[in-house]
């Protein structure tokens, strides 16, 4: 759902909040339109880490996420021209559950795919999705709030089309994307935003849809690829085939798993482990530190790749896995995880026809942002700002 704009001070601005599992980011974004072309400027962005703990529990993670969100809001407040700027809140795992469903309607005689028919399809499939979540205990004991129920791809009589409503056809095939958030998570976020920005309109979205939307705009020629988001606690792997976001599989090994492994093996604190990891990523570690960390990384790589391969098997079934991988990840571990993926022999010889080619998201972000903003940026915020801009354009 796109958001309205309020008042002259706010009409050219919007807020983006990236709610991750390892950190929370936020940005004030200014949009400009000239000759029907738009440009975005990140006026100010801020990111705060979610407190890293030895053991991860949902309630503790929720509390620490809320504290990080408050820090982000406070950091952005003084630069806001108004407190009524629309806010787009984008959730990463484990805050949402999503699913893509392919719905086919076929009849003997031509029929018109009307808005009413689309609404009936969406309602039926959404009820089925929510029932599936409940049966699998994805969000045990929690009331659900729907974030998205979008037709992300349509085909009439075998032909892809953008404008599919009110058209005659014998067969309609719709790819429908659903996402939900646990109501208490949404309420915690709304509570924080309303405290500082009491009159702000808020819309919730899931990161895979924003990610998919941005990549589709950046690389319209690419139809088959993997999207990966290696965050603090979780790695998400999403499959896009024939231009459709089909499924996302998650496993609980992200950047923080690596830090905990370094901490355990070197008998250091988590803070010291972060410092060691930074030295390694900057190629500033001593020979002794490199040797010690090398042993840790080999063990971590084996464990992470084992889960990555399980994810690929789950996503692919008996079909091939695309060879291109778009990677969203923190800069301090980007090279490490990219090398793990690209060097993985399983990916090269088993489920994929060729060796994985890893494409960092920062590669193409300059296509839509002011050049002055290229030196210091947040790739997650970039993706979500592009997605929000798209929603605003559709609503205009």
For residue range 97-150, list pLDDT tens digits in order.
999 999 999 999 999 999 999 999 999 999 999 888 877 766 655 788 999 999
- Are 185 and 62 in contact by the 8 Å Cβ rule? The answer is yes
* pLDDT mean across residues, the chain: 86
Q: What is the pLDDT of residue 374?
A: 41
Nearest to 344 by CA among 282, 373, 301: 301
In the chain, domain spans: 7-95+182-219+363-395, 97-180, 225-360
pLDDT tier at 204, thresholds 50, 70, 90: very high
For residues 69-79, average pLDDT: 96
The secondary structure of residue 369, as a DSSP letter, is B
Please, which residues have CB within 8 angstroms of residue 106's CB and are 6 or more apart in sequence? Answer: 170, 171, 172
Q: Which fold has domain 7-95+182-219+363-395?
A: Nucleotidyltransferase; domain 5 (3.30.420)
Asked whether the bond before 94 is cis by omega within 30 degrees of 0, the reply is yes
For residues 277-302, average pLDDT: 83
Q: Which fold has domain 97-180?
A: Dna Ligase; domain 1 (3.30.1490)
Common-topology check for domains 7-95+182-219+363-395 and 97-180: no
Q: What is the pLDDT of residue 15?
A: 97
Using N-to-C axis directions, what is the helix angle for 207-218 and 379-395, rounded to 10°?
Answer: 80
Q: What is the DSSP string of 80-139?
A: -S-S---EEEEE-TTSEEEEEEEEEEEEEEEEE--HHHHHHHHHHHHHHHHHHHHHTTSS
Least confident of 40-44, 285-289, 380-384, 389-393: 285-289
Angle at 139 between CA 138 and CA 142, to 5 degrees: 160
Q: What is the pLDDT of residue 270?
A: 87
Q: What is the pLDDT of residue 368?
A: 53
- Are 176 and 104 in contact by the 8 Å Cβ rule? The answer is no
What confidence tens digit (pLDDT) does each residue in 151-196 have?
999 999 999 999 999 999 999 999 999 999 999 999 999 999 999 9
For residues 17-40, average pLDDT: 86
Q: What is the pLDDT of residue 345?
A: 62
Which CATH number, 3.30.420.40, 1.25.40.80, 3.80.10.10, 3.40.50.620, labels domain 225-360?
A: 3.30.420.40
Q: What are phi and psi of 232, to 5 degrees?
A: -60, -55
Residue 205 pLDDT > 90: yes
The more confidently predicted of residues 392 and 171 is: 171
For residues 253-259, average pLDDT: 92
For residues 53-67, average pLDDT: 90
Q: What is the pLDDT of residue 2?
A: 40
Q: Is 237 helix (H, G, I), strand (E, B) or coil?
A: strand
What is the rounded distance in angstroms from the CA atom of residue 391 to the CA atom of residue 396?
9
């Amino acid at each position: 759902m796109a958001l309205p704009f309020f008042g002259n001070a706010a009409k050219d601005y919007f807020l983006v909040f990236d709610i991750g599992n390892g950190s929370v980011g936020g940005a004030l974004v200014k949009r400009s339109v000239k000759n029907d072309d738009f440009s975005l400027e990140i006026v100010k962005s801020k990111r705060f880490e979610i407190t890293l703990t030895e053991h991860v529990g949902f309630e503790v993670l929720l509390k620490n996420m809320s504290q990080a969100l408050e820090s982000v809001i406070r950091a952005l407040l003084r630069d806001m021209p108004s407190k009524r700027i629309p806010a787009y809140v984008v959730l990463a795992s484990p805050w949402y559950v999503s699913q893509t469903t392919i719905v086919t309607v076929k009849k003997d005689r031509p029929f018109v795919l009307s808005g009413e028919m689309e609404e009936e399809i969406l309602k039926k499939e959404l009820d089925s999705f929510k029932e599936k979540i409940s049966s699998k205990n994805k969000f045990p004991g929690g009331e659900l709030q729907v974030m998205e129920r979008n037709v992300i791809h349509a085909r009439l009589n075998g032909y892809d089309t953008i404008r599919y409503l009110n058209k005659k056809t014998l067969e309609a095939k719709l790819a429908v994307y659903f996402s939900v958030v646990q109501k208490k998570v949404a309420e915690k976020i709304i509570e924080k935003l309303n405290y500082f920005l009491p009159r702000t309109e808020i819309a919730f979205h899931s990161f895979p849809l924003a990610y998919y939307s941005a990549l589709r705009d950046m690389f319209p020629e690419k139809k088959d690829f993997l999207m990966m988001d290696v965050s603090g606690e979780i790695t998400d792997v999403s499959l896009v085939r024939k231009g459709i976001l089909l499924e996302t599989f998650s496993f609980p090994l992200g950047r923080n798993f690596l830090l905990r492994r370094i901490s355990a093996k070197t008998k250091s604190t988590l803070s010291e482990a972060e410092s060691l990891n930074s030295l390694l990523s900057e190629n500033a570690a001593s020979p002794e530190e490199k040797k010690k960390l090398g042993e840790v990384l080999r063990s971590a790589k084996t464990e992470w790749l084992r889960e990555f391969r399980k994810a690929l098997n789950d996503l692919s079934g008996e079909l091939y896995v695309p060879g291109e991988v778009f990677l969203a990840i923190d800069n301090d571990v980007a090279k490490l995880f990219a090398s793990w993926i690209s060097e993985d022999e399983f990916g090269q010889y088993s489920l994929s026809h060729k060796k994985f080619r890893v494409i960092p998201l920062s590669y193409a972000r300059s296509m839509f942002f002011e050049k002055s903003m290229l030196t210091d940026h947040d790739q997650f915020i970039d993706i979500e700002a592009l997605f929000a801009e798209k929603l605003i354009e559709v609503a205009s």
